Structure 1
């Protein structure tokens, strides 16, 4: 109990600090791909057009101003089931925007808020260690949860999003966020986490990790992981599976053998077409099974 109280106090301090900053508008989304995500593999990259859908950048009101986001939805009809798409470490760049368009083609209202808007633009940084040091390490989980809630509220305000059918998916950095949001938001119906870190050291910015919130999960999460992911050892996946079973949670984890990290990222050398397509099909089934579609 004392530890939980201390973490709650830290979260309150983070929120208070955000309010003091008086942040107003954090620019626009990056164009193309982040420099650190290169080289881009054009021969395998999926590009989804905008025929039959409406898509583009928007500004989402948050507690201390506005943040940029990308959204996509069918051009006619609605309201549509809603999916929040959470970025990789590289921010809301072209791949994440394309994922939103893919969801729109399936009949969803998709929104991808820029999670680092206050902390900096990662698109011009050339390597992952610098992104972590200069930006990601300064992004508090409390801010992320609040901004996702704000993105959902904005989607609902358009009259085109049915947020009673709410899902979330995220990749890499965003995969970890999916687990945390499933423990945060009681209105969430389901989540799909793509190779998100499961364990870690507690800090002021990241007081808890997915394995720490298993008992608090309010929605079922499907985890999609690679057996050859050097950044997420198989033993941490096994620990998470055991924790979910012990807690009696209806979440599942799929571990693809001999598969690297970022296997869904079709613009990167890590892309694995068979596993990515299987994961995408499993995502659709998971959302349908759990009331998102």
Structure 2
């Protein structure tokens, strides 16, 4: 079941449907979607964000966050010279903190936030060094325990509090793999005021490393989550969103305050402006809704 979920996640990430032309295997489809040029040396080029947010007036760059003696790298962006800033954790896709994620952090910084994007699977490997998606999923992503992620995010919040952030105004957002973690962290940390999950998987098989999925923790959310999803996402069926809505309706105040926006024609990764899946209208609308959501729920 874990391998099946990983394959489904990979297909969703790349916008590959479950049905393929005769004679084409899923592995071939994945390779075709990635392209012959998808190798370690070319990944940073492919991962260049089409939207280039300038860093003038911002403090940006890599920082190291201590997690029980382990130095975890993270990208930080914030208005220069300011403190007491609301904090947004930016959780990456499976490719780690590449330029698109860094640019997203700078966009939040432009809006007045201390934005931090931690490298949440750096212990398992360098996501940007893999030339094959299947290897990346099997050798890195599948080995990342949810408990490790929760601890790393807790440490990131502590770092933010000591470095100009006001963690009484804490938000979390994430994309794909990171979108799933948004739901989990909003249930884990009582300090989370609000979350915005971009097309994160909601249901799936459980195992020792991933014992619960968002649908399992929906009722215990500490802060409300806005889910931004694509109606044409082949990896996240609409019926799973319906299951999540039901679980939220049976939960506490934060769960009941959570909501979804589904863009009917948008595929998976519609916010990822460096990929063919990008849909400008849905991405821009989702971004406005994300900023408004944070402001309305005390992350501003």
Normalised to the residue count of structure 1, the TM-score between the two structures is: 0.85
Change in Cα spacing, 1:34 to 1:166, as seen in structure 2 (3 Å) is farther
Residue number in structure 1 paired with 2:113: 108
Equivalent residues in 2 for 1:190-229, closer than 5 Å:
190-229=194-233
Residue number in structure 2 paired with 1:182: 186
1:105-143 Cα distance to aligned partner (Å, 9 max, x none) = 110000011001110011021232211101011100000
State the Cα distance separating 1:37 from its structure 2 match. Answer: 5.9
**Paired residue total:** 259
1:6-28 Cα distance to aligned partner (Å, 9 max, x none) = xxxxxxxxxxxxxxxxxxxxxxx
Q: Is the 8 A contact 1:36 1:123 kept in 2?
A: no
Q: Is the 8 A contact 1:35 1:125 kept in 2?
A: no
Distance 2:158 2:91 in 1: 16
Change in Cα spacing, 1:290 to 1:146, as seen in structure 2 (3 Å) is same
User: Pick from 167, 170, 178: which aligns with 2:171?
Assistant: 167
Distance 2:151 2:220 in 1: 17
Equivalent residues in 2 for 1:233-272, closer than 5 Å:
233-247=237-251, 249-272=256-279
Change in Cα spacing, 1:227 to 1:187, as seen in structure 2 (3 Å) is same
Unaligned residue ranges in structure 2 (runs of 5+): 1-38
Residue number in structure 2 paired with 1:138: 143
Distance 1:35 1:144 in 2: 27
Q: Is the 8 A contact 2:47 2:274 kept in 1?
A: yes
Unaligned residue ranges in structure 1 (runs of 5+): 1-32
Equivalent residues in 2 for 1:18-37, closer than 5 Å:
none
User: Pick from 86, 90, 102: which aligns with 1:85?
Assistant: 90
Normalised to the residue count of structure 2, the TM-score between the two structures is: 0.83
1:219-270 Cα distance to aligned partner (Å, 9 max, x none) = 1000000001111111111111122123252100111101100000001100
Determine whether 1:123 maps to 2:128. Answer: yes
Residue number in structure 1 paired with 2:299: 292
Q: Is the 8 A contact 2:44 2:99 kept in 1?
A: no
Distance 1:258 1:40 in 2: 24
Q: Is the 8 A contact 1:36 1:127 kept in 2?
A: no
Range 138-147 or range 119-128, more displaced: 119-128
Change in Cα spacing, 1:120 to 1:113, as seen in structure 2 (3 Å) is same
Q: Is the 8 A contact 1:184 1:218 kept in 2?
A: yes
Range 61-70 or range 241-250, more displaced: 241-250
Residue number in structure 1 paired with 2:16: none
Runs of 4+ in 1 over 2 A off after TM superposition: 33-42
Query: CA RMSD for the aligned pairs?
Result: 1.7
Residue number in structure 2 paired with 1:16: none
